[in-house]
Amino acid sequence: MTQQKSIEVEGKTTKEAIGLALKKLKVSKDQVKIQILSEENKGLFGMNGNKLAKVKVTLKPDNSEQTS
């Protein structure tokens, strides 16, 4: 049984968190499964920063054994 590689990342927005996770794993968006654990919570008057977004990014099973 193979274990899937996954990481949890926080960012100011879900888009930023996903981008950071993809950079860390060095893969493209179509090679992973993305799960949003929590979305950012904007502060008063729409200002960013109250609560960070958190995502879990997991490599799809066929990526580790894929040959081109």
Q: Are 55 and 14 in contact (CB under 8 A)?
A: yes
Q: Please tell me the distance from the alpha carbon of residue 7 to that of residue 33, in angstroms, as a whole number.
A: 11
Q: Is 1 helix (H, G, I), strand (E, B) or coil?
A: coil
What number is the average pLDDT over the span 41-49? Answer: 65
Q: Are 57 and 33 in contact (CB under 8 A)?
A: yes
Phi, psi of 36 (to 5 degrees): -85, 115
Per-residue pLDDT tens for 1-12?
A: 456 799 999 999
Side-chain-side CA neighbours of residue 52 (13 Å): 10
pLDDT > 90: what percent of the chain? 62
pTM for the model: 0.76
What number is the average pLDDT over the span 28-51? Answer: 82
Residue 55 pLDDT grade (very low, low, confident, very high; cuts 50, 70, 90) = very high
